[in-house]
Amino acid sequence: MIQGFNPRTGKPAGEPVAETPGADVDAAVAAAAEALPAWAALADEDRARALEAVADALDERTKELAALADEETALGDTRLTGEVGRTTGQLRLFAGVLRDGRYHDVAESPAGGGIPEIERISHPVGPVAVFAASNFPFAFSVMGGDTASALAAGCPVVVKAHEGHPSTSDLTAQIAQQALASAGAPAGVFALIHGVDAGLQLLKHPDIAAAGFTGSTAGGLALAKICAEREVPIPFFGELGAVNPVVVLPGAATQRGADIATGYAGSLTLGAGQFCTNPGLLFVPAQDEALRGAVADAVTESSGAPMLSERIYSGYEAALAEIEAHPAVTSVAAGTTGEVPWGATPRLFATTLEEFAADTEVLAKERFGPAGLLITYPSAEELLPVLAQLGGNLVGAVHGDPGDQADLATARQVIAVFQRTVGRIVWNGWPTGVAVNAAQHHGGPYPATTAPATTSVGSAAIRRWLVPVAYQGLPAELLPAQLAPAADEG
């Protein structure tokens, strides 16, 4: 049985949920495979309406969903209400992507050189497995971005629920299934399963054509390996951990050090630091002692929050123990811990660039929680090669004074490094706060993700679930509807 816990009390939240038996996993995948042709063949408008029906149904139950999720995650009503909205916004975004139609990626080339005309269009890859994340119980969970984008692409989806919020997952799934059915979606187009074993069985099922995952590096790499070693390997779109370096340039530090300090502490402690976009590494000019003090003060003034689970809390404590024991690191600030069993204390550690560079294996590691490492750098020349050697990250941020030519010159160099090492570059802002739109790229080089050319947030997320087919010399009556002359000339 899978039991959710209330992070505020450490006590069970709600009834335990049964792990999905093997036969039911097989049945869910079989139903998904059976649903594929009908779901894939639906007109864009009809699939868009089905997604909107799910969005409407979830919106209607926002209060209930947020309250249940708060029991299981303690993320608070404001955040959770907003997250339901973000989730339904994502579903509507993909409805818009469907109506726009460009996602079909249609191309047409005339006959030539003895070869007839060729038309190309993308088709859904097949039934998709989605592994829900713990830290966004809606937006990266059962009906989150992976599920929404895969359904939009015409792929049936089987979601493996996260153990952290089983009841929230069940309620979300029930609402979604009802809405899909009312909207005329084929049975089997969406299913939820519970349990680690069930998830592994799902991933290995021959009818599963691709998988999406948001979670830890270790978990993601283990699943990626399974996908690669299947008899028929499948693409695994894993969004793993990141430390998201933030570089403060000297001009910005002088100009608005106080703002930067409070902004950093706010981003670091958002969601108890349990965001994949958490700014784990803060690079500040060595000469600017004021900024260092301000950051330390801001972290000291920040409050902890309950972490999502005992496992995550223990992991955070272990990460803190490791970095505290590091000879080259000093602990410079600690915020307030709440009166809760799994309360994360915001922490700030400090080291020099030289020490950091000497042991990036430990020091550049993700510490899942509100623990920041402040790294003092003596000069841009020394900073750049160290930044270049960091592993892939989801986000890199630069703070500079737009009126300071030295800052701008260094910013260009930092950005040139980030272009090869992160998925999103932020100017005078923070990595947290991921806009869901057409231009978003929530990805990044390995090990931030296992598929650096793809995004798990925003319109382009649909591309992960599509594969092209070229049609050579087919008469209109045999072409897919979107390619037939009567249809949109796309």
Q: What's the closest the beta carbon of residue 149 comes to a copy of itself, in angstroms? A: 14
Per rule CB under 8 A, is residue 452 in the interface with a copy of itself? yes
Per rule CB under 8 A, is residue 435 in the interface with a copy of itself? yes
Which residues does 256 contact at the CB level (< 8 Å), separation at least 6? 401
**Quick one: tokens of 216?**
């830890």
Phi then psi dihedrals of residue 421, to 5 deg: -125, -10
Could you count the other beta carbons within 10 Å of the beta carbon of residue 176? 27
Per rule CB under 8 A, is residue 4 in the interface with a copy of itself? no
238 or 257, CB closer to a copy of itself? Answer: 238
Per rule CB under 8 A, is residue 469 in the interface with a copy of itself? yes
Per rule CB under 8 A, is residue 73 in the interface with a copy of itself? no
Q: How many residues does the chain have?
A: 490
Residue from 16, 22, 184, 233 that binds a copy of itself (CB under 8 A)? Answer: 233
Per rule CB under 8 A, is residue 184 in the interface with a copy of itself? no
Closest CA to 204 of 227, 221, 222: 227
* 277 vs 452: CA distance, rounded Å: 16
Phi then psi dihedrals of residue 5, to 5 deg: -130, 150
419 by Cβ neighbours in 10 Å (0-12 / 13-18 / 19+) ranks as: exposed
66 or 125, CB closer to a copy of itself? Answer: 125
Annotation says 239 is catalytic: yes
250 or 391, CB closer to a copy of itself? Answer: 391
Q: What's the closest the beta carbon of residue 214 comes to a copy of itself, in angstroms? A: 17
Residue from 426, 448, 461, 462 that binds a copy of itself (CB under 8 A)? Answer: 426
Do the beta carbons of residue 371 and residue 280 sit within 8 Å? Answer: yes
* 87 vs 144: CA distance, rounded Å: 6
Per rule CB under 8 A, is residue 485 in the interface with a copy of itself? no
Annotation says 276 is catalytic: yes
452 by Cβ neighbours in 10 Å (0-12 / 13-18 / 19+) ranks as: middle
Per rule CB under 8 A, is residue 385 in the interface with a copy of itself? no
Looking at the annotation, which residues are catalytic? 239, 276
| Residues within the interface to a copy of itself (CB under 8 A) | 37, 107-109, 112-116, 118-120, 123, 125-126, 228, 232-233, 235, 391, 402, 408, 411-412, 415-416, 418-420, 422-429, 433-435, 437-443, 445-447, 450, 452-453, 455, 459-460, 463, 466-475, 477-478, 480
